[in-house]
Amino acid sequence: AALDGFQIDVQLSIMSFLSPQDLCHLGSTSCYWRAAVQDPLLWRYFLLRDLPLWTSVDWKSLPDVEIFNKAFSEESDNELYDYMAVYKRSCPQNRRSLKSSRPRYGAVTSFLQSLVTQAEPRFAMFGPGLEELDNSLVQKMMTCPEILLVAGLPQRQIHGIGSGVSFQFNNNQKFNILTLYSTTSVERRKAREEQAAAVNKMFYQENSVVGNQQAMHYSVIAQVKKVCEVVDGFIYVANAETPKKHDRQEELARILAMTDPTLGPPNRPLLVLSCVSHVDVKRIPCVYMAHQLQLNLLRQPWMVQDTVAATLAGLINGIEWLLEEANCKNAQ
C-alpha cells in the first residue's frame, strides 16, 4: 500500500532494485501490481543486468541476440519480445527449479538399466581450452577424486592425439572421455614455449564457395573420424579468457566438422565448457560465448557451462546435463 501513492516512474525505479523473484511476489498481491510488474522495459533491464552473471545457457534458453544488440523501442519490442518470459526461460535458477519439479524416474531407470549390460557412454573432448590455458583441465580432472573419480585408465591411445579415461559420476554412473589434442604433446609444449599457435592436425581444410564468398569448411582426419563415429556426445573446451583473441568462426567450423551428421546420429549432445584458468581471470559470459560460437546454427542439443580449470567449478553441472541428454538419446 505504501507504493500506491507514488507516480508510475517512481514505482518502476523502486521495482528495479527488487530481485525478479521479489517482483513476482509483488505481482501476486493485486491486479494492479500483476500488470505493473510485467513492464517490458523493467524486465529488459533485468535481462541485460543479469545475463552476464549466469553460469550456463542451453539450446532451449538462449536469448535472441537482438535483445541486447539493439536499442529499446516500446512499440516494436512489445510485439516482438516478452522480456519477462525470456528472463524466466533463460535464468539458470528457474531452469533448475522447473527441472526439479518434474516427475523423477531416475531410480526406476537405474534399476532397469542395471538388469541390462550397457557400455559406458563415451564422449570426445576437444577444443583450444585444453591447450591454451595456464591450468590443465584434464590434469585436474585426473587428480581430483573428491570431484570426479577416475574409474579406469586407457588401455590404448590414438597415436599422438589422445586417450580414453573412464570416470565415475556421483551416482556411480561410469562414462568415458576420449581427449583429442590438436597435435602431439612435444609439439604442443614447443608451441607454448615459443608462444606460437600449434598446427591443428585433427582437421584439414576444404575450401568452398557460398554465394560470392569463400566459406571455411573443415573435415576430420581418419583417426578422429573413427572416434566421431562411436561416441555418444561431444565436449568442446572453449577458451573463455577475455585477454586473448579468439577466431570463433574457425572454432565453429571445427565443431561442425566433429558433429557432422554423416559421422553418426545427428542428435548427439554437445557440452561446451566455457573455461578459464582460475577464478580471478576475467571471463566471457556464457551467453555471449554461445552467440560468438553461433551455437544456434547447430541441430543437436547443446549447453554452455562456465568452468574453472583450477577448481573444476561448473564441470559437474555440465557432465550431469551431458549424461542426461546422452541417456535420453540412447533410450530413444
What is the pTM assigned to this prediction? 0.84
- Cβ proximity of 52 and 242 under 8 Å: no
Backbone dihedral angles phi then psi of residue 152, each to the nearest 5 degrees: -175, 135
- Cβ proximity of 38 and 27 under 8 Å: yes
- Sign of the torsion angle spanned by Cα atoms 163, 168, 170, 173: positive
Q: Residues with Cβ < 8 Å from 310, sequence gap 6 or more? A: 135, 140, 277, 278, 279
pLDDT band per the 50, 70, 90 thresholds, residue 120: confident
SS3 53: helix
- C-alpha cell read off for 191: 608451441
Return the CATH number of the domain spanning residue range 3-68+82-101.
Answer: 1.20.1280.50
Per residue in 58-68, pLDDT (tens digit) is: 999 999 888 77
SS3 258: helix
The domains of the chain are located at 3-68+82-101, 122-331
Backbone dihedral angles phi then psi of residue 55, each to the nearest 5 degrees: -100, -5
Per residue in 264-300, pLDDT (tens digit) is: 999 999 999 999 999 999 999 999 999 999 999 999 9
Per residue in 163-219, pLDDT (tens digit) is: 689 999 876 789 999 999 988 878 877 877 777 677 788 999 876 655 566 667 899
Q: Same CATH topology for 3-68+82-101 and 122-331?
A: no
CATH architecture of 122-331: 3-Layer(aba) Sandwich (3.40)
H helices within 1-105, ranges in order? 8-15, 20-27, 31-36, 40-50, 65-69, 74-80, 83-90, 92-101
